[in-house]
Amino acid sequence: MQSKNALRMTLHRMRANRLRTGLTTLTIMIGVAAMIVLIGLSNGVLSMVGTTLNNTNNTIAITPSTPDILAPKQGLDDGDLAALQRELDPTLVDRVVPVVEGAAVMRFGANEFRTAKATGSNEGLLKLRTRQIAAGSMFTEDQYRSKAKVALIGSSVVKWLFAGNSEAALGQNIYIGRHQFKVIGILAKSAVGNGVALVPMPTARAYLFGGTDSLNSISVIAKDLDSLTPLSDQISKIMDREHNIGSSAQRNYSADTTNTVASSSQSLTMLNWFIIAVAACMLLVGALGIANTILLTVSEHTEEIRQHIADGTPRSTIFRHVLAESTILAAFGGILGVGLGIGALVLVETQVMPELTGGAGAVEIPIQAVLIAFGASLLLGLLAGLYPATQAAKLSPAVQERELVATP
């Protein structure tokens, strides 16, 4: 057996054992495809969430909380908002965003959406929650101050009330609760929060939430990360004064900064590594399948290999031949896996992600992951063939020895 015939004989044996070759190739193909798809989806999710985290990184969210000792003043109200807007250092603050929200039934004609949420806020909510306007416009400062009954609605509201037709929704009057609101804008589809109507906060209070001056939350968006620490100190002083707080045990509000964001970012990074580990394990299973297939092949062709050795074929050639067979199996599975993985990502990006997120966090085809996955499949194929190749090269030329004993 000559070295130049190794590829020909390898392909011949692969064709002779089509089922075994196909199943072995399938394990490598699935492993490579899984690595590409999982890393691609992971990168897309990290990109989408990372954008949100980057925005919330600069945010201090003030919400009511339960103190250890009862404080004189409970909850958040306009007095807190006015004090923050008046006294916070303007060189540190980008926006102060008050929020009131609650469940609301929305109707247009015979169509009804019963699980919607009405949110009253100012224009800063778009930045706070990383939302964009797909059509129409944001309410103006005049509309905000005059309690105009105008609303921007999410894609789920458009779907239920207008059969998904955004153009038909713009300019229409819909009922939110018992009051009519004119639709002036359509919010772009997001990963969450699509069943919402955004209205000016004074309007929400006057017509939807009973006219009280209470607030669900107040978010302060800092101009940069360096502003967070001094801004947090200022917020604590102002809020303690407004709520007559004498000790930290009386604090009936929480002012969350970047600790939660950092924890979320760390969790996402750990999830990304976990996904890579799962994909690597799937590739390893494929490598074990190759090793098993090559061992079976060597076992079935033991006498043939011994005969080649007896005929003078160098053991190094036997070794290279068996190693070539395992590498070819891995390469074939790797090529198919790359094609399957890229095809799956393209399908997800064009069909699934737009439906789920409206295009947010678009899936990226990770070229580096493609190269690593294919290279890993070749390397694992090579390593999987080392033991079977070594065992085949160690076989003794038993057939020739028997023939020499029989010679007079």
Q: Which two tokens stand for residue 133?
A: 């306007």
State pLDDT tens for residues 175-214: 999 999 999 999 998 867 899 999 999 999 999 998 788 9
Residue 173 CA to residue 62 CA, distance in Å, equals: 34
What's the pLDDT score for residue 13? 67
pLDDT of residue 402: 43
Other Cβ atoms closer than 10 A to 86 = 8
Other CB atoms within 10 Å distance of the CB of residue 137? 11
- For residues 400-406, give the mean pLDDT: 43
In the predicted structure, residue 4 carries a pLDDT above the cut 60: no
- HEC secondary structure over 117-175: EEEEECCCHHHHCCCCEEEECCCCHHHHHCCCCEEEECHHHHHHHHCCCHHHHCCCEEE
Token output for 153? 């609605």
**For all residues of the chain together, what is the average pLDDT?**
83
pLDDT of residue 2: 47
| Maximum pairwise Cα distance, the chain | 118
User: What confidence tens digit (pLDDT) does each residue in 234-244 have?
Assistant: 999 999 999 88
Residue 88's pLDDT is 96
- The more confidently predicted of residues 70 and 364 is 364
Q: Report CA-CA distances (Å) from 255 to 59, 196, 266.
A: 10, 25, 21
Residue ranges with strand state E in 170-302: 173-176, 179-187, 196-200, 214-215, 217-222, 253-256
Alpha carbons 406 and 58: distance in angstroms, whole number: 90
CA atoms of 19 and 9, how far apart (whole Å): 17
Q: Which of 70-84, 92-106, 296-310 shows the highest mean pLDDT?
A: 92-106
